[in-house]
Amino acid sequence: MLIFAGLGNPGTQYARNRHNVGFMAVDAIAERFGFSPERSRFQALTREGFIEGGGGRHKVLIIKPQTFMNESGRSVGKAMRFFKLTETDVVVFYDEIDLAPGKLRVKTGGGTAGHNGIRSVKAHIGEDFRRVRIGVGHPGQKSRVQGHVLSDFSKAEHEQWLDDLIDAIDRSASHLADGEDPAFMSEVARLAPAPELPKADEQESDD
């Protein structure tokens, strides 16, 4: 069994925020693969289902913590322990300001790069979980980061790259379930190429 955890903040006022792109990604996967209706457990909203991949049929629990971003790890940890899983069975989807808008990277382990949701998950389950980093870009100044991630995606962003990227993520999710992270990244990039932006905006970090 795998856990696909999307990070975000609960409530309709946050639903379209950049900080909630993890919720958007796992919702799309649940819809694509016909997961069960949403239910409340583990201080989260969850859905269960199966993802068919080349490596077999994988049972997946999708989880959206309802504890607010800074305490996301509580929900993920509860679910992981309940199903007797380890952190290597967990995949976390979240917004990454150190990637240009529309870019996506997957990595295992590492630091938190200042992301409070990832910091919380790491504190509750350890660091060896897989991370799907969804680029939302950096506003340019540290003082503007909070306002940037807690603001809604614009209509132009939806049209230029966001909707295509979310669609590519759910269409390629079988590679993630199979543990084929490079294949997942390649397929997403093929289906939803990141928009061309000035080089200064294309900041990437492996922290």
The predicted pLDDT at position 139 comes to 86
Whether residue 115 lies in the annotated active site: no
How far apart (Å, rounded) are the C-alpha atoms in residues 97 and 133?
9
Taking residues 120-145, report their average pLDDT: 92
In a domain, 29, yes or no: yes
Taking residues 107-111, report their average pLDDT: 90
The predicted pLDDT at position 198 comes to 54
Q: Which amino acid is at 102?
A: G
Cα separations (Å) of 5 from 34, 195, 198? 17, 26, 32
How far apart (Å, rounded) are the C-alpha atoms in residues 201 and 179?
30
In a domain, 206, yes or no: no
pLDDT digits (tens, 9 = 90+) for 152-177: 999 999 999 999 999 999 999 999 99
The predicted pLDDT at position 205 comes to 47
In a domain, 160, yes or no: yes
In a domain, 88, yes or no: yes
Number of domains in the chain: 1
Instruction: Please state the pTM of the whole predicted model.
Output: 0.92
Cα separations (Å) of 123 from 36, 79, 81? 29, 15, 14
The predicted pLDDT at position 164 comes to 96
Rg of the chain, C-alpha, whole Å: 16
194: left (phi over 0), alpha (psi -120 to 50) or beta: beta
% of the chain at pLDDT higher than 70:
95
The predicted pLDDT at position 197 comes to 63
In a domain, 133, yes or no: yes
In a domain, 139, yes or no: yes
The predicted pLDDT at position 142 comes to 85
Residue 200 has pLDDT above 60, yes or no: no
Residue 204 has pLDDT above 50, yes or no: no
In a domain, 130, yes or no: yes
In a domain, 207, yes or no: no
Residue 203 has pLDDT above 50, yes or no: no
pLDDT digits (tens, 9 = 90+) for 12-66: 999 999 999 999 999 999 999 999 999 999 999 999 999 998 889 999 999 999 9
CA triple 66-67-68, angle to 5 deg: 95
Domain range for 63: 2-201
pLDDT digits (tens, 9 = 90+) for 142-154: 889 888 989 999 9
* CATH assignment of the domain containing 127: 3.40.50.1470
